[in-house]
Structure formats: C-alpha cells, structure tokens
Amino acid sequence: MLLAFDIGNTTIAVGLFRGKKLVKSWKIKTDSDKTSDEYGAVLLNLMQVGGLAAGKITGAIISSVVPPLTPVIEEMCLAYFSMTASVVGQGLKTGMPILYENPLEVGADRITAAVAAFEKYGGPLIVLDFGTATTFDAVSAKGEYLGGAIAPGVRISAEALYLKTAKLPRIEIRKPKRAIGRTTVSSMQSGLYFGYIGLVTNTIREIRKELGESARVIATGGFGGQVVPEFQEIEAYEPDLVLEGLRIIHERNRDARA
C-alpha cells in the first residue's frame, strides 16, 4: 500500500492507497513544532482505529508547501514504516512539462493537482484549489502546465479584517441570507462570501480568455465543498485530487525505475 502526504499550510492530508483505490484518508492539523515521533504516533493511531496494518506499507510520497515539515515527515516514514519517501520536486518525474519561467517556484501541490486533473479530464483545463490560498492553474490541451493565479483564501481575508481593524470581530464564514447586512457580522459575511464568489468567477473568466472558452474547470480544496455549488463554471469537485496526483506520480516514477 502507498502512503501519500499532502502537507498544506493548514492541514496535512494523508491518503492510503491499495493499487489505484484510495482506501482511507485523514486530515491532521499542520504544526511545524511537532516531531516525527508525534506525527508517527498520530498516524499509527489513526491506522489502528481504521483496522489498517502499518506493515503493509510498500511506498510513500510527499507533496509539501511547508518546507520545515518535509524532513519531519520523511523521518517519520523511515522510522515508523521503514520507507524512504519520494518528494515531489526537482528530480521526480511528473509527466507534465512545466512552462513557468522558474519551475522551482511552483508549489508541489499545484503541479500534483494538475497532473491528476489532466489524467482524469484531459485539457485544456483550469484546476481551482480552495485552500488556505485560492489557486488557479492552467493546463494546455497537450498537458503542459502553463501557470495560473494566486489569491487569498476567504479565511485569510476574514482573519485580515479581524487583525487589521479595531472593532471588527472574528466571524464564521458562511453564506448570508441577504447581501445587505443589518449587523456587523452579517455585513462582513456578505462582503467576504459574495466578494469571494466574484473574485473566483472573474478570475476563471479572464483565464478562459487566454486558455480558451472550452477549458474545463475542476475544483479541489477544503473550502470547495461549501462554495462549489455557487459556480456554474465548475464541472467537478474532487476533494482528494492532490492525493490522487501523488499516486499517479509515484506510479510513473516506479515504472520509470523498473
């Protein structure tokens, strides 16, 4: 079985694959102060509760946008599963040409999600990730990663309002009943929610002008489950897209070595 780790700014998504099937997935809070032993204990606990044997792990792969945590998870894989984990980055085959001016600047999660989306849906397409940041990634009809756009996630925007103003509170992000708020909280919810919908819709429209109006839009990311129904442009929501991409990249490199 393959262990796949998507290390994000807010959570670490962990997936366990048997062949092409995602058997189990978990979300662990991202904490750069945790040691490899602490992460190992948490993961072993989760596997035990799920009735999964650690001894059945035959491979591990990591995508990370939190550099300090990458060696911690690598160390954990070695210590608890006797596996040397592959890390998405320079030296690992993705099967997708990256046409960014500096390919090393692109987040591993963005490439990994693009690989999975193109494998399943073909191109051209826009991969939209509703994560801590909101990212838009353009993939050509030939399967080339072209670049994209990065915007604040809605939670970042909400936190900025709370931290950078004297009187605005920290609020729950949800769709308000009306656009005209009659309290401070409902006014903030209106601005954040409907403003965010506008940001996403307009960015998709502008990218399609350059990529082609036929470009499909595939979404992923934790906040997507809440907002995807607002967008007619989004064809599918794939919450485990990065984990699936990690499986695909692992298989491509395993086959290349073979």
For the chain, domain boundaries: 2-87, 103-245
Give the H/E segment covering residue 249.
Answer: helix 241-257
When the pLDDT of each residue in the chain is averaged and rounded to a whole number, the result is: 94
Residue 105 has pLDDT above 70, yes or no: yes
Structure confidence at residue 206 as a pLDDT band (50, 70, 90):
very high
CA atoms lying within 13 Å on the CB side of residue 85: 27
Please tell me the predicted confidence (pLDDT) of residue 254.
83
188 contacts 210 by C-beta, under 8 angstroms = no
Please tell me the predicted confidence (pLDDT) of residue 256.
64
Superfamily of domain 2-87: ATPase, nucleotide binding domain (3.30.420.40)
Please tell me the predicted confidence (pLDDT) of residue 161.
95
Can you tell me the distance from the alpha carbon of 105 to that of 164, in angstroms, rounded to the nearest whole number? 29
**pLDDT tens digits, residue range 110-143?**
999 999 999 999 999 999 999 999 999 999 999 9
Please tell me the predicted confidence (pLDDT) of residue 257.
63
Residues 55, 20, 233: CA angle, nearest 5 degrees: 135
Structure confidence at residue 181 as a pLDDT band (50, 70, 90):
very high
15 contacts 22 by C-beta, under 8 angstroms = yes
Helices (H), 34-93: 36-49, 70-81
Tokens of 235: 């064809």
113 contacts 88 by C-beta, under 8 angstroms = no
Q: Which amino acid is at 57?
A: I
Question: Which is the catalytic residue, given 6, 37, 109, 255?
Answer: 109
Structure confidence at residue 106 as a pLDDT band (50, 70, 90):
very high
Structure confidence at residue 91 as a pLDDT band (50, 70, 90):
confident
Structure confidence at residue 55 as a pLDDT band (50, 70, 90):
confident
For the chain, percent of residues with pLDDT exceeding 90: 91
User: What's the mean pLDDT in 227-255?
Assistant: 94
Give the residue from 210, 200, 202, 193 showing the smallest Cα distance to 146. 210
Active site residue 109: yes
Please tell me the predicted confidence (pLDDT) of residue 177.
93
Please tell me the predicted confidence (pLDDT) of residue 258.
58
User: What's the mean pLDDT in 155-159?
Assistant: 94
Question: One fold for both 2-87 and 103-245?
Answer: yes
Question: How many C-beta atoms surround the C-beta of residue 166 within 10 A?
Answer: 4
CATH code reported for the domain at 103-245: 3.30.420.40
Please tell me the predicted confidence (pLDDT) of residue 54.
85
Residue 108 has pLDDT above 90, yes or no: yes
Size of the chain in residues: 258
For the chain, percent of residues with pLDDT exceeding 70: 98
Q: Which amino acid is at 131?
A: G
Give the H/E segment covering residue 154.
Answer: helix 154-164
Tell me phi and psi for residue 167, to 5 degrees: -125, -5
Structure confidence at residue 14 as a pLDDT band (50, 70, 90):
very high
Please tell me the predicted confidence (pLDDT) of residue 107.
92
Question: How many C-beta atoms surround the C-beta of residue 62 within 10 A?
Answer: 23
User: What's the mean pLDDT in 199-203?
Assistant: 97
